[in-house]
Amino acid sequence: MIHSMATLGTVSQSLALGFTVLSIILIAQFLRSGDTRLYVSGRRSAVIAAGLVILSTLVLLRELIQSNFNLEYVAHYTSIATPLLYKISALWAGQAGSLLFWVFIVAGYILIVIYQNRTVNKVMMPWVIMILMAIQFFFLYMTNFITNPFSPVEAGIIISDGNGLNPLLQNVTMAIHPPTLYLGYVGFAIPFTFAMAALITGDTSATWIKLIRRWTLFTWLALGIGILLGAWWAYQELGWGGYWAWDPVENASLMPWLTATAFIHSIIIQEKRDMLRVWNMILIIITFTLSIFGTFLTRSGIMSSVHSFTASSLGPLFLGFVFLILAGSFLLLYKRLPMLRTKNRIESFVSRESGFLFNNVIFIVMCFAVFWGTMFPVLTEAVRGTKITVGAPFFNQVNIPIGLSLLFLTGIGPVLAWRRTSKQVLIKQFSLPVLVSLVALGVFILRGLQGYVMISFVLAVFVTTTIVLEFARGIAARHRRFNESVVLAFWQMLRKNRHRYGGYIVHFGIVLMFVGFTGKAFNREIETAIRTGDKFHLSGYEFELQEIETEERPNHFAWIAHLKVVKLGVGPVTHLFPEKRIYFHRNPDQRKHQPHSELDIHTTLKQDIYSVFSGYDTKTKSASFKIMINPLVSWVWIGSYIFVLGTLIALWPNRRKK
């Protein structure tokens, strides 16, 4: 019998709450009295609180790995047969555990912030720690009193094996998707906290922005990767052939990402030209609120969604917290408004500043569109009494022109000059991209493209040309000034201007993603039920079901279809082997059987051939398939890699000077 450490977990969780409160009190006393001993003590208390949170998370992790089914949470989400990786990922698979995991990340971030600022930012730090502790308090309160992951199974029951993790979630991507998303969600607490500390201490210059820029970029990247992993998982596992369904929970993660994207653009203006101070404050407040709201949407069950957990009592608490943050921070902002006035104004329509301004406006518009569609059922129920939903068609229709305007700005914004752009410069910068785009437009029209698809492709060409030109100009400038070779000039240019060129690379990644998104317009699909030897056709391809093989594997039984794919008039392309699996097939109770379709995809740069073995009737030997031809999907993933690469370049630390 393995000794349970659950008590240690429970106690350290409660102690963490105690030290969190103690830390707030001590620092508040320091701020009143100015006695630095109180601050040192309060900071230590914060460190202890964070350490205890980490300890209790580790204890829960240990109980999950050791399969201590005396804990309700462990019994719910793992079984003895669950592989180790998924015992670990069970930590964030359920509500109670994922909230503890949330605080765990907060605690980790707090320790990093305290360490980074141990000798600097003496004025802001007490406030920073205090606000972070308040945020930690909220989540600790919930894990302690509302959904405690350490709560034991009801008395009178012994569970000899738990029910295990849903096989759909038994996938490496799915194991790392939630934690990356959380790194992002939680991370926005840091820039938010520094913004509030800057407001409180009255330091309204760009200092706080310098402090949090890399944090924000890192957080933004983590959230972006989390979103993309989710999309990739949906595409590879769920079998409906798409990567984005505008599901409320997906939208909840997209919204803060959109406002954060606006934020990382507009802080550049504040740094360079000391403008938009108030706007930046508003953006970070909204971003943080949306990330809490996202957690709320996932946890409250007010939205029906594939992701949502069963309805719980967390809803009102979360909503209250969201309102508290909004009311508190906007009140503070209002009080500090006079200090935030700056004398700089946008001077010209055709300037970098106005490019950024419109970029910001459109990002917010897009966030509003997503918000409107997501909340529409809630709003209509409140106003008209009937819940009215709007699905993917609404989001697609509304967001396409908004997205295309953003793509357009991606092309022009970065090459506009600060303050004003003269006519000569404008002509010099844009004559070639416009020319290339016009040629591309002609080619696309000849090939029969029209509407949004054509616009999207032309814009992709336009933006790519401007980016390539920017690189070429930069290299040429270095070549002229320092007489460096092209390769060296390229390397030095990247190294010395990582933000600018990293940004361009991110933009290029986004362009490729747009190309991939546009491919959706050409999707073709067929659903059919056939027998071995039958053939069917889809947009120039012939599919033949050659045989259905059976195989028994350790934890499931599988029917494996052999589909031969032939391009008509060309020849064989590939074989696809989609599977229909039954998990828990040895269990005599039919209800415990869990069917699962393991799909197979033939990927090329041009298109994916996507096959799902959706059903098999052993009596009639009839098998049903769903086959899709999805053009250009791989460009979404290629674009994602480039997006990550570009952000990493921008994030890479400056080499320390000795």
Residue with tokens 């989540």: 139
Nearer to another protein among residue 391 and residue 572 (C-beta): 391
Residues 241-270, interacting with another protein (CB under 8 A): none
Encoded one letter per residue, x for contact with another protein by CB under 8 A and - for no contact, window 63-92 reads: ---------x--xxx---------------
Q: Of residues 21, 88, 146, 159, which one binds another protein by CB under 8 A?
A: 159
Residues 440-469, interacting with another protein (CB under 8 A): none
**What does the alpha-carbon distance between residue 74 and residue 65 come to, in Å, rounded to a whole number?**
9
Going by their DSSP bridges, the two strands 594-598 and 600-603 should be labelled as unpaired
545 touching another protein, by CB under 8 A: no
Decide: helix, strand or coil at residue 559.
Answer: strand
Q: Of residues 25, 28, 58, 166, which one binds another protein by CB under 8 A?
A: 166
Q: How far does CA 292 lie from the centroid of its chain?
A: 14
Residues touching another protein: how many (CB under 8 A)?
118
Q: Of residues 154, 446, 588, 605, which one binds another protein by CB under 8 A?
A: 154
- Give the dihedral sign, CA 477/481/485/491: negative
- Least separation in angstroms between CB 205 and another protein: 12
Query: 154 φ, ψ to 5°?
Result: -50, 145
Interface stretch with another protein, choices 394-402, 516-524, 558-566, 639-647 (CB under 8 A): 394-402
Q: Of residues 203, 470, 484, 542, which one binds another protein by CB under 8 A?
A: 470
Q: Of residues 310, 450, 483, 618, which one binds another protein by CB under 8 A?
A: 310
Cβ–Cβ under 8 Å, residues 292 and 192: no
Q: Of residues 145, 349, 522, 652, which one binds another protein by CB under 8 A?
A: 349
Interface stretch with another protein, choices 262-270, 289-297, 379-387, 442-450 (CB under 8 A): 379-387
594 touching another protein, by CB under 8 A: yes
Nearer to another protein among residue 9 and residue 294 (C-beta): 9
Nearer to another protein among residue 55 and residue 440 (C-beta): 55
342 touching another protein, by CB under 8 A: no
**What does the alpha-carbon distance between residue 344 and residue 243 come to, in Å, rounded to a whole number?**
44
Residue with tokens 């010099």: 428
Q: Of residues 496, 537, 575, 586, which one binds another protein by CB under 8 A?
A: 496
**What does the alpha-carbon distance between residue 380 and residue 367 come to, in Å, rounded to a whole number?**
19
529 touching another protein, by CB under 8 A: yes
**What does the alpha-carbon distance between residue 246 and residue 228 come to, in Å, rounded to a whole number?**
13
Residues 211-240, interacting with another protein (CB under 8 A): 239
Nearer to another protein among residue 161 and residue 549 (C-beta): 161
What are the tokens at 474?
């930069």
Query: 66 φ, ψ to 5°?
Result: -80, 0
Cβ–Cβ under 8 Å, residues 647 and 224: yes
All residues at 6 or more sequence positions from 471 whose CB lies less than 8 Å from its CB, including other chains: 490, 493, 501, 504
560 touching another protein, by CB under 8 A: no
Residue 95 buriedness (CB in 10 A; 0-12 / 13-18 / 19+)? buried
Encoded one letter per residue, x for contact with another protein by CB under 8 A and - for no contact, window 170-199 reads: ------------------------------
Nearer to another protein among residue 222 and residue 415 (C-beta): 415
Q: Of residues 170, 308, 456, 518, which one binds another protein by CB under 8 A?
A: 308
623 touching another protein, by CB under 8 A: yes
528 touching another protein, by CB under 8 A: yes
**What does the alpha-carbon distance between residue 254 and residue 257 come to, in Å, rounded to a whole number?**
5
377 touching another protein, by CB under 8 A: yes
**What does the alpha-carbon distance between residue 41 and residue 20 come to, in Å, rounded to a whole number?**
12
Residue with tokens 């090459």: 415
- Least separation in angstroms between CB 308 and another protein: 8
503 touching another protein, by CB under 8 A: no
Interface stretch with another protein, choices 184-192, 315-323, 458-466, 475-483 (CB under 8 A): 475-483
Interface stretch with another protein, choices 98-106, 472-480, 567-575, 629-637 (CB under 8 A): 472-480
Residue 203 buriedness (CB in 10 A; 0-12 / 13-18 / 19+)? middle
473 touching another protein, by CB under 8 A: yes
386 touching another protein, by CB under 8 A: yes
**What does the alpha-carbon distance between residue 133 and residue 7 come to, in Å, rounded to a whole number?**
24
**What does the alpha-carbon distance between residue 247 and residue 229 come to, in Å, rounded to a whole number?**
15
Nearer to another protein among residue 160 and residue 483 (C-beta): 160
Interface stretch with another protein, choices 249-257, 435-443, 535-543, 623-631 (CB under 8 A): 623-631
**What does the alpha-carbon distance between residue 617 and residue 624 come to, in Å, rounded to a whole number?**
9
What type of residue sits at position 144? N
Closest among 488, 466, 465 to 478, alpha carbons compared: 488
Nearer to another protein among residue 11 and residue 441 (C-beta): 11
Residues 131-150, interacting with another protein (CB under 8 A): none
Q: Of residues 382, 477, 486, 568, which one binds another protein by CB under 8 A?
A: 477
Per DSSP, the residues of 499-554 read HHHHHHHHHHHHHHHHHHHHHGGG-EEEEEEE-TT-EEEETTEEEEEEEEEEEEET
